[in-house]
Structure 1
Amino acid sequence: MSQEQVAVTAAEPATDGRRARGDRSRRAVLDRAVQVASVQGLDGLTFGSLAQAAPVNKSGIAGLFGSKEGLQVAAVARAREVFRQAVVLPARDGDPGLPMLWRTVLAWCAYSADRVFEGGCFFRTAGAELDARAPGPVRDAVVTALRDWDAYLARLVRDAVARGELGDGTDVDQLVFVIDGALDRADLASLLLDDAAAYDRARAAVRAVLLAAGASQGLLREPGAS
Protein backbone atom coordinates (compact mmCIF):
# COMPACT_ATOMS: atom_id res chain seq x y z
CA MET A 1 0.00 0.00 0.00
CA SER A 2 1.37 3.40 -0.95
CA GLN A 3 1.89 6.22 1.55
CA GLU A 4 -0.97 8.09 -0.11
CA GLN A 5 -3.31 5.12 0.38
CA VAL A 6 -2.25 4.82 4.02
CA ALA A 7 -2.98 8.52 4.57
CA VAL A 8 -6.41 8.23 3.01
CA THR A 9 -7.23 5.13 5.05
CA ALA A 10 -6.10 6.81 8.26
CA ALA A 11 -8.19 9.89 7.50
CA GLU A 12 -11.43 8.00 6.89
CA PRO A 13 -12.23 7.14 10.56
CA ALA A 14 -11.61 10.74 11.60
CA THR A 15 -13.86 11.99 8.81
CA ASP A 16 -16.56 9.48 9.73
CA GLY A 17 -16.30 10.51 13.38
CA ARG A 18 -16.73 14.18 12.56
CA ARG A 19 -19.72 13.39 10.38
CA ALA A 20 -21.31 11.30 13.14
CA ARG A 21 -20.77 14.07 15.68
CA GLY A 22 -22.23 16.58 13.22
CA ASP A 23 -25.26 14.36 12.68
CA ARG A 24 -25.80 14.01 16.43
CA SER A 25 -25.48 17.74 16.95
CA ARG A 26 -27.90 18.46 14.11
CA ARG A 27 -30.44 16.00 15.50
CA ALA A 28 -30.12 17.43 19.02
CA VAL A 29 -30.73 20.96 17.75
CA LEU A 30 -33.68 19.91 15.58
CA ASP A 31 -35.27 17.86 18.36
CA ARG A 32 -35.32 21.00 20.48
CA ALA A 33 -36.27 23.24 17.56
CA VAL A 34 -39.47 21.35 16.75
CA GLN A 35 -40.59 21.62 20.37
CA VAL A 36 -39.90 25.35 20.49
CA ALA A 37 -41.63 25.91 17.14
CA SER A 38 -44.72 23.96 18.24
CA VAL A 39 -45.19 26.51 21.05
CA GLN A 40 -43.66 29.74 19.75
CA GLY A 41 -43.99 29.21 16.02
CA LEU A 42 -41.25 28.82 13.45
CA ASP A 43 -40.44 32.51 13.75
CA GLY A 44 -39.61 31.83 17.39
CA LEU A 45 -36.57 29.81 16.40
CA THR A 46 -33.27 31.61 16.92
CA PHE A 47 -29.71 30.33 17.05
CA GLY A 48 -29.24 31.97 20.44
CA SER A 49 -32.28 30.48 22.14
CA LEU A 50 -31.55 27.00 20.81
CA ALA A 51 -27.92 27.24 21.91
CA GLN A 52 -29.18 27.59 25.50
CA ALA A 53 -31.13 24.32 25.26
CA ALA A 54 -29.05 22.18 22.90
CA PRO A 55 -25.44 21.00 23.31
CA VAL A 56 -24.26 23.24 20.45
CA ASN A 57 -23.19 26.88 20.65
CA LYS A 58 -24.68 29.66 18.56
CA SER A 59 -21.93 29.65 15.94
CA GLY A 60 -22.11 25.86 15.74
CA ILE A 61 -25.85 26.01 15.00
CA ALA A 62 -25.22 28.66 12.35
CA GLY A 63 -22.62 26.37 10.81
CA LEU A 64 -25.05 23.44 10.75
CA PHE A 65 -27.98 25.28 9.12
CA GLY A 66 -26.51 28.36 7.47
CA SER A 67 -29.44 30.68 8.15
CA LYS A 68 -32.61 30.96 10.19
CA GLU A 69 -34.58 29.94 7.10
CA GLY A 70 -32.40 26.86 6.72
CA LEU A 71 -33.08 25.98 10.35
CA GLN A 72 -36.82 26.46 9.88
CA VAL A 73 -36.98 24.25 6.78
CA ALA A 74 -34.93 21.57 8.57
CA ALA A 75 -37.27 21.79 11.58
CA VAL A 76 -40.29 21.15 9.35
CA ALA A 77 -38.54 18.12 7.86
CA ARG A 78 -37.72 16.79 11.35
CA ALA A 79 -41.31 17.38 12.48
CA ARG A 80 -42.48 15.26 9.56
CA GLU A 81 -40.23 12.43 10.72
CA VAL A 82 -41.57 12.66 14.28
CA PHE A 83 -45.16 12.75 13.02
CA ARG A 84 -44.59 9.69 10.84
CA GLN A 85 -43.17 7.76 13.79
CA ALA A 86 -46.03 8.79 16.08
CA VAL A 87 -49.04 8.56 13.75
CA VAL A 88 -48.40 6.83 10.45
CA LEU A 89 -46.24 3.85 11.37
CA PRO A 90 -48.17 2.63 14.45
CA ALA A 91 -51.41 2.56 12.45
CA ARG A 92 -49.91 0.29 9.81
CA ASP A 93 -49.77 -2.64 12.21
CA GLY A 94 -53.00 -4.49 11.53
CA ASP A 95 -55.69 -4.99 8.91
CA PRO A 96 -55.65 -2.64 5.90
CA GLY A 97 -58.55 -0.60 4.57
CA LEU A 98 -61.04 1.02 6.96
CA PRO A 99 -59.41 -0.43 10.12
CA MET A 100 -56.12 1.23 9.12
CA LEU A 101 -57.88 4.54 8.49
CA TRP A 102 -59.53 4.34 11.91
CA ARG A 103 -56.26 3.38 13.62
CA THR A 104 -54.67 6.42 11.98
CA VAL A 105 -57.37 8.66 13.46
CA LEU A 106 -56.82 7.11 16.89
CA ALA A 107 -53.05 7.48 16.55
CA TRP A 108 -53.45 11.15 15.63
CA CYS A 109 -55.59 11.76 18.71
CA ALA A 110 -52.99 10.04 20.90
CA TYR A 111 -50.17 12.03 19.27
CA SER A 112 -51.90 15.31 20.08
CA ALA A 113 -53.15 14.30 23.55
CA ASP A 114 -49.75 12.91 24.59
CA ARG A 115 -48.06 16.18 23.51
CA VAL A 116 -45.49 14.52 21.30
CA PHE A 117 -44.89 18.17 20.46
CA GLU A 118 -45.16 20.42 23.50
CA GLY A 119 -47.50 22.80 21.71
CA GLY A 120 -49.82 20.13 20.33
CA CYS A 121 -49.81 19.38 16.62
CA PHE A 122 -46.74 21.01 15.08
CA PHE A 123 -48.42 21.39 11.71
CA ARG A 124 -51.58 23.02 13.03
CA THR A 125 -49.38 25.61 14.77
CA ALA A 126 -47.22 26.13 11.69
CA GLY A 127 -50.22 26.31 9.39
CA ALA A 128 -51.90 28.97 11.50
CA GLU A 129 -48.67 30.95 11.64
CA LEU A 130 -47.95 30.87 7.92
CA ASP A 131 -51.35 30.66 6.24
CA ALA A 132 -51.43 34.35 5.23
CA ARG A 133 -47.72 34.63 4.38
CA ALA A 134 -46.33 34.94 0.88
CA PRO A 135 -44.94 31.72 -0.61
CA GLY A 136 -41.37 30.91 0.33
CA PRO A 137 -39.25 27.90 1.32
CA VAL A 138 -40.61 27.62 4.88
CA ARG A 139 -44.26 28.11 3.99
CA ASP A 140 -43.85 25.80 1.00
CA ALA A 141 -42.40 23.08 3.25
CA VAL A 142 -45.41 23.29 5.58
CA VAL A 143 -47.87 23.33 2.66
CA THR A 144 -46.21 20.24 1.19
CA ALA A 145 -46.42 18.43 4.54
CA LEU A 146 -50.13 19.22 4.92
CA ARG A 147 -50.92 18.23 1.34
CA ASP A 148 -49.01 14.98 1.74
CA TRP A 149 -51.01 14.21 4.90
CA ASP A 150 -54.29 14.85 3.09
CA ALA A 151 -53.14 12.69 0.19
CA TYR A 152 -52.27 9.89 2.62
CA LEU A 153 -55.69 10.06 4.26
CA ALA A 154 -57.32 10.09 0.82
CA ARG A 155 -55.39 6.97 -0.12
CA LEU A 156 -56.63 5.19 3.00
CA VAL A 157 -60.23 6.23 2.24
CA ARG A 158 -59.97 5.03 -1.36
CA ASP A 159 -58.57 1.72 -0.17
CA ALA A 160 -61.55 1.33 2.18
CA VAL A 161 -63.92 2.10 -0.71
CA ALA A 162 -62.14 -0.41 -2.95
CA ARG A 163 -62.55 -3.08 -0.26
CA GLY A 164 -66.27 -2.39 0.05
CA GLU A 165 -65.90 -1.01 3.59
CA LEU A 166 -67.15 2.43 2.52
CA GLY A 167 -69.79 3.20 -0.09
CA ASP A 168 -68.91 3.47 -3.77
CA GLY A 169 -70.27 7.02 -3.85
CA THR A 170 -68.05 8.25 -1.02
CA ASP A 171 -66.78 11.78 -1.63
CA VAL A 172 -63.15 11.18 -0.69
CA ASP A 173 -62.09 14.82 -0.56
CA GLN A 174 -65.08 15.79 1.59
CA LEU A 175 -64.46 12.93 3.98
CA VAL A 176 -60.79 13.89 4.37
CA PHE A 177 -61.83 17.51 4.94
CA VAL A 178 -64.18 16.50 7.76
CA ILE A 179 -61.59 14.19 9.36
CA ASP A 180 -58.96 16.94 9.25
CA GLY A 181 -61.40 19.43 10.71
CA ALA A 182 -62.33 17.17 13.63
CA LEU A 183 -58.70 16.43 14.48
CA ASP A 184 -57.51 20.02 14.22
CA ARG A 185 -60.42 21.22 16.36
CA ALA A 186 -59.61 18.61 19.01
CA ASP A 187 -56.01 19.82 19.17
CA LEU A 188 -57.13 23.45 19.48
CA ALA A 189 -59.86 22.74 22.04
CA SER A 190 -57.56 20.63 24.18
CA LEU A 191 -54.83 23.25 24.26
CA LEU A 192 -56.63 26.58 24.19
CA LEU A 193 -59.92 25.69 25.85
CA ASP A 194 -58.64 22.93 28.15
CA ASP A 195 -61.46 20.71 26.90
CA ALA A 196 -60.84 17.26 28.36
CA ALA A 197 -63.48 15.74 26.09
CA ALA A 198 -62.03 17.15 22.87
CA TYR A 199 -60.58 13.88 21.62
CA ASP A 200 -63.71 11.92 22.49
CA ARG A 201 -65.67 14.44 20.44
CA ALA A 202 -63.23 14.17 17.55
CA ARG A 203 -63.43 10.38 17.47
CA ALA A 204 -67.22 10.55 17.67
CA ALA A 205 -67.35 13.04 14.80
CA VAL A 206 -65.11 10.92 12.58
CA ARG A 207 -66.98 7.75 13.47
CA ALA A 208 -70.28 9.42 12.56
CA VAL A 209 -69.08 10.53 9.14
CA LEU A 210 -67.58 7.09 8.43
CA LEU A 211 -70.82 5.36 9.44
CA ALA A 212 -72.72 7.74 7.19
CA ALA A 213 -70.39 6.69 4.37
CA GLY A 214 -71.30 3.03 4.89
CA ALA A 215 -68.77 1.84 7.47
CA SER A 216 -69.53 -1.10 9.72
CA GLN A 217 -69.70 -0.20 13.43
CA GLY A 218 -67.62 -3.28 14.22
CA LEU A 219 -64.61 -1.86 12.38
CA LEU A 220 -64.63 1.37 14.39
CA ARG A 221 -63.62 0.27 17.85
CA GLU A 222 -62.73 2.69 20.63
CA PRO A 223 -59.27 2.51 22.24
CA GLY A 224 -59.15 -0.43 24.63
CA ALA A 225 -62.33 -2.02 23.29
CA SER A 226 -62.19 -5.77 22.80
Structure 2
Amino acid sequence: MSPRRSAAEALLTRGRILDRAAEIASEEGLDGITIGRLAEELEMSKSGVHKHFGTKESLQISTLDKAFVDFWHRVVEPALAEPPGLRRLRMVCANSVDYLASPLLPGGCLMTAALSEYDGRPGAVRDAVAEVWSRWQGQLRADLAVAVEGGELPEPFDVDQALFEIIAAGLALNAAMQLQHDQSAVARARRAIEKALG
Protein backbone atom coordinates (compact mmCIF):
# COMPACT_ATOMS: atom_id res chain seq x y z
CA MET A 1 0.00 0.00 0.00
CA SER A 2 1.36 3.43 -0.92
CA PRO A 3 2.02 5.96 1.87
CA ARG A 4 -0.48 8.34 0.23
CA ARG A 5 -3.24 5.72 0.25
CA SER A 6 -2.39 4.74 3.82
CA ALA A 7 -2.60 8.38 4.96
CA ALA A 8 -5.92 8.86 3.13
CA GLU A 9 -7.37 5.73 4.74
CA ALA A 10 -6.19 6.91 8.18
CA LEU A 11 -7.99 10.24 7.63
CA LEU A 12 -11.17 8.44 6.60
CA THR A 13 -11.01 6.22 9.67
CA ARG A 14 -10.39 9.22 11.93
CA GLY A 15 -13.36 11.00 10.33
CA ARG A 16 -15.60 7.98 10.87
CA ILE A 17 -14.59 7.81 14.54
CA LEU A 18 -15.26 11.53 15.04
CA ASP A 19 -18.61 11.35 13.25
CA ARG A 20 -19.83 8.67 15.65
CA ALA A 21 -18.25 10.39 18.66
CA ALA A 22 -20.08 13.62 17.82
CA GLU A 23 -23.41 11.78 17.54
CA ILE A 24 -22.90 10.19 20.95
CA ALA A 25 -21.68 13.42 22.56
CA SER A 26 -24.63 15.41 21.25
CA GLU A 27 -27.00 13.08 23.11
CA GLU A 28 -24.97 11.99 26.14
CA GLY A 29 -22.32 14.67 26.55
CA LEU A 30 -18.61 14.54 25.84
CA ASP A 31 -18.17 12.28 28.87
CA GLY A 32 -20.32 9.72 27.06
CA ILE A 33 -17.62 8.99 24.50
CA THR A 34 -14.88 6.51 25.26
CA ILE A 35 -12.26 4.79 23.19
CA GLY A 36 -13.66 1.38 24.17
CA ARG A 37 -17.23 2.25 23.24
CA LEU A 38 -16.22 3.67 19.86
CA ALA A 39 -14.06 0.63 19.13
CA GLU A 40 -17.00 -1.67 19.87
CA GLU A 41 -19.58 0.33 17.92
CA LEU A 42 -17.31 0.81 14.89
CA GLU A 43 -16.03 -2.79 15.04
CA MET A 44 -12.44 -1.68 15.51
CA SER A 45 -9.80 -2.62 18.03
CA LYS A 46 -9.25 -0.32 21.00
CA SER A 47 -5.68 0.19 19.85
CA GLY A 48 -7.00 1.18 16.42
CA VAL A 49 -9.06 3.99 17.94
CA HIS A 50 -6.38 4.84 20.49
CA LYS A 51 -3.69 5.44 17.87
CA HIS A 52 -5.76 8.28 16.37
CA PHE A 53 -6.31 10.16 19.65
CA GLY A 54 -4.15 8.77 22.43
CA THR A 55 -6.37 9.80 25.33
CA LYS A 56 -10.04 10.25 26.08
CA GLU A 57 -9.41 13.96 26.63
CA SER A 58 -7.84 14.31 23.19
CA LEU A 59 -10.80 12.42 21.70
CA GLN A 60 -13.24 14.76 23.44
CA ILE A 61 -11.44 17.89 22.24
CA SER A 62 -11.17 16.53 18.69
CA THR A 63 -14.90 15.72 18.74
CA LEU A 64 -15.74 19.25 19.87
CA ASP A 65 -13.45 20.72 17.20
CA LYS A 66 -15.13 18.60 14.52
CA ALA A 67 -18.58 19.77 15.63
CA PHE A 68 -17.46 23.39 15.63
CA VAL A 69 -15.96 23.11 12.13
CA ASP A 70 -19.24 21.62 10.87
CA PHE A 71 -21.17 24.44 12.58
CA TRP A 72 -18.84 27.07 11.08
CA HIS A 73 -19.21 25.61 7.57
CA ARG A 74 -22.99 25.66 7.83
CA VAL A 75 -23.55 28.92 9.74
CA VAL A 76 -20.69 31.35 9.17
CA GLU A 77 -19.00 30.50 5.87
CA PRO A 78 -22.10 31.03 3.66
CA ALA A 79 -22.32 34.58 5.02
CA LEU A 80 -18.68 35.52 4.46
CA ALA A 81 -19.39 36.61 0.88
CA GLU A 82 -21.26 39.54 2.42
CA PRO A 83 -19.25 42.55 3.61
CA PRO A 84 -18.81 42.83 7.39
CA GLY A 85 -21.70 44.53 9.13
CA LEU A 86 -25.42 44.22 9.65
CA ARG A 87 -26.28 42.26 6.51
CA ARG A 88 -23.65 39.61 7.23
CA LEU A 89 -24.68 39.53 10.89
CA ARG A 90 -28.33 38.94 10.01
CA MET A 91 -27.34 36.15 7.63
CA VAL A 92 -25.13 34.48 10.25
CA CYS A 93 -27.94 34.75 12.84
CA ALA A 94 -30.51 33.34 10.40
CA ASN A 95 -28.16 30.47 9.57
CA SER A 96 -27.61 29.76 13.27
CA VAL A 97 -31.38 29.57 13.87
CA ASP A 98 -31.70 27.21 10.89
CA TYR A 99 -28.85 25.11 12.30
CA LEU A 100 -30.55 24.80 15.70
CA ALA A 101 -33.95 24.10 14.12
CA SER A 102 -32.49 21.32 11.93
CA PRO A 103 -29.30 20.21 13.68
CA LEU A 104 -26.67 18.04 12.07
CA LEU A 105 -26.50 15.84 15.18
CA PRO A 106 -29.27 13.77 16.79
CA GLY A 107 -28.95 15.51 20.16
CA GLY A 108 -28.84 19.06 18.80
CA CYS A 109 -25.97 21.50 19.06
CA LEU A 110 -22.94 19.80 20.60
CA MET A 111 -21.34 23.14 21.51
CA THR A 112 -24.40 24.12 23.53
CA ALA A 113 -24.46 20.73 25.25
CA ALA A 114 -20.73 20.99 26.02
CA LEU A 115 -21.19 24.49 27.43
CA SER A 116 -23.58 23.31 30.14
CA GLU A 117 -21.56 20.12 30.71
CA TYR A 118 -18.21 21.84 31.22
CA ASP A 119 -18.87 25.45 32.26
CA GLY A 120 -18.01 24.75 35.90
CA ARG A 121 -15.26 22.17 35.42
CA PRO A 122 -11.55 22.94 35.10
CA GLY A 123 -9.27 21.34 32.55
CA ALA A 124 -8.32 21.14 28.89
CA VAL A 125 -11.80 20.13 27.67
CA ARG A 126 -13.37 23.09 29.45
CA ASP A 127 -10.72 25.34 27.88
CA ALA A 128 -11.58 23.96 24.43
CA VAL A 129 -15.28 24.62 25.05
CA ALA A 130 -14.46 28.18 26.11
CA GLU A 131 -12.36 28.64 22.96
CA VAL A 132 -15.08 27.60 20.51
CA TRP A 133 -17.62 29.81 22.30
CA SER A 134 -15.13 32.69 22.21
CA ARG A 135 -14.69 32.25 18.45
CA TRP A 136 -18.47 32.22 17.89
CA GLN A 137 -19.00 35.30 20.05
CA GLY A 138 -16.04 37.01 18.39
CA GLN A 139 -17.63 36.58 14.96
CA LEU A 140 -20.91 38.09 16.14
CA ARG A 141 -19.18 40.91 18.03
CA ALA A 142 -17.05 41.88 15.03
CA ASP A 143 -20.08 42.31 12.77
CA LEU A 144 -21.99 44.17 15.49
CA ALA A 145 -19.08 46.58 15.92
CA VAL A 146 -18.80 47.21 12.16
CA ALA A 147 -22.56 47.78 11.96
CA VAL A 148 -22.36 50.40 14.72
CA GLU A 149 -19.31 52.09 13.21
CA GLY A 150 -20.99 52.20 9.80
CA GLY A 151 -24.19 53.72 11.15
CA GLU A 152 -26.27 50.62 10.38
CA LEU A 153 -27.29 50.38 14.04
CA PRO A 154 -28.47 53.39 16.02
CA GLU A 155 -26.18 55.07 18.48
CA PRO A 156 -25.84 54.68 21.36
CA PHE A 157 -25.97 50.94 20.72
CA ASP A 158 -24.97 48.44 23.41
CA VAL A 159 -22.97 45.80 21.54
CA ASP A 160 -22.46 43.68 24.67
CA GLN A 161 -26.19 43.60 25.41
CA ALA A 162 -27.08 42.70 21.82
CA LEU A 163 -24.46 39.95 21.82
CA PHE A 164 -25.83 38.59 25.10
CA GLU A 165 -29.40 38.54 23.72
CA ILE A 166 -28.39 36.86 20.45
CA ILE A 167 -26.50 34.12 22.32
CA ALA A 168 -29.39 33.74 24.79
CA ALA A 169 -31.87 33.31 21.92
CA GLY A 170 -29.76 30.48 20.52
CA LEU A 171 -29.45 28.73 23.88
CA ALA A 172 -33.19 29.04 24.49
CA LEU A 173 -34.00 27.75 21.02
CA ASN A 174 -31.75 24.71 21.40
CA ALA A 175 -33.39 23.89 24.75
CA ALA A 176 -36.91 24.34 23.36
CA MET A 177 -36.17 22.13 20.35
CA GLN A 178 -34.41 19.38 22.29
CA LEU A 179 -36.55 19.28 25.45
CA GLN A 180 -39.98 20.16 24.12
CA HIS A 181 -39.72 19.73 20.33
CA ASP A 182 -41.28 23.19 20.17
CA GLN A 183 -41.20 24.31 16.53
CA SER A 184 -42.78 27.65 17.45
CA ALA A 185 -39.56 28.52 19.27
CA VAL A 186 -37.88 29.05 15.90
CA ALA A 187 -40.00 32.12 15.15
CA ARG A 188 -39.54 33.38 18.71
CA ALA A 189 -35.77 33.09 18.39
CA ARG A 190 -35.83 35.05 15.12
CA ARG A 191 -37.95 37.79 16.77
CA ALA A 192 -35.65 37.92 19.79
CA ILE A 193 -32.61 38.39 17.56
CA GLU A 194 -34.30 41.12 15.54
CA LYS A 195 -35.30 42.84 18.75
CA ALA A 196 -31.68 42.68 19.93
CA LEU A 197 -30.67 44.43 16.70
CA GLY A 198 -33.48 46.98 17.00
Q: TM over 0.5: same fold? A: yes
Q: Deviations over 1:134-170 (max 9, x none)?
A: x211111001111111111100101111221112321
Gaps of 5+ in 1: 1-12, 212-226
Distance in 1 (CA, whole Å) between partners of 2:78 and 2:42 is 29
Report 1:34-73 matches (<5 A): 34-54=22-42, 56-73=44-61
Q: 1:157·1:172 contact (CA, 8 Å) conserved in 2?
A: yes
Q: In structure 2, which of residues 132, 137, 140 is the aligned counterpart of residue 145 of structure 1?
A: 132
What letter corresponds to residue 60 of structure 1 in structure 2?
Answer: G
Gaps of 5+ in 2: none
Q: Structure 2 vs 1, CA of residues 147 and 92 (structure 1 numbering), >3 Å: closer, same or farther? A: same
Deviation at 1:53, TM superposition (A): 3.8
What letter corresponds to residue 179 of structure 1 in structure 2?
Answer: I
What letter corresponds to residue 194 of structure 1 in structure 2?
Answer: H
Structure 1 runs of 4+ aligned residues shifted over 4 Å read: none
Q: Structure 2 vs 1, CA of residues 55 and 82 (structure 1 numbering), >3 Å: closer, same or farther? A: farther
Distance in 2 (CA, whole Å) between partners of 1:54 and 1:93 is 38
Q: Structure 2 vs 1, CA of residues 74 and 85 (structure 1 numbering), >3 Å: closer, same or farther? A: same
What letter corresponds to residue 28 of structure 1 in structure 2?
Answer: R
Count, aligned residues: 198
Aligned position for 1:130: 118
* 2:148 is aligned with 1:172: no
Deviation at 1:95, TM superposition (A): 5.0
Q: TM-score w.r.t. structure 2 length?
A: 0.94
Distance in 2 (CA, whole Å) between partners of 1:136 and 1:96 is 34
Q: 1:25·1:55 contact (CA, 8 Å) conserved in 2?
A: no
Distance in 2 (CA, whole Å) between partners of 1:54 and 1:142 is 26
Report 1:1-226 matches (<5 A): 14-54=2-42, 56-94=44-82, 96-133=84-121, 135-211=122-198
Q: TM-score w.r.t. structure 1 length?
A: 0.83
* Identical counterparts, % of pairs: 37
Deviation at 1:48, TM superposition (A): 2.6
Instruction: Output the aligned Cα RMSD.
Output: 1.5
Aligned position for 1:3: none
Q: Which has the larger radius of gyration?
A: 1
Q: Deviations over 1:86-132 (max 9, x none)?
A: 11112224454111111111100111111212211111100111112
Distance in 1 (CA, whole Å) between partners of 2:130 and 2:84 is 27
Q: 1:25·1:56 contact (CA, 8 Å) conserved in 2?
A: no
Name which structure has the greater RCO, CA cutoff 8 Å, separation 6+: 2
What letter corresponds to residue 69 of structure 1 in structure 2?
Answer: E
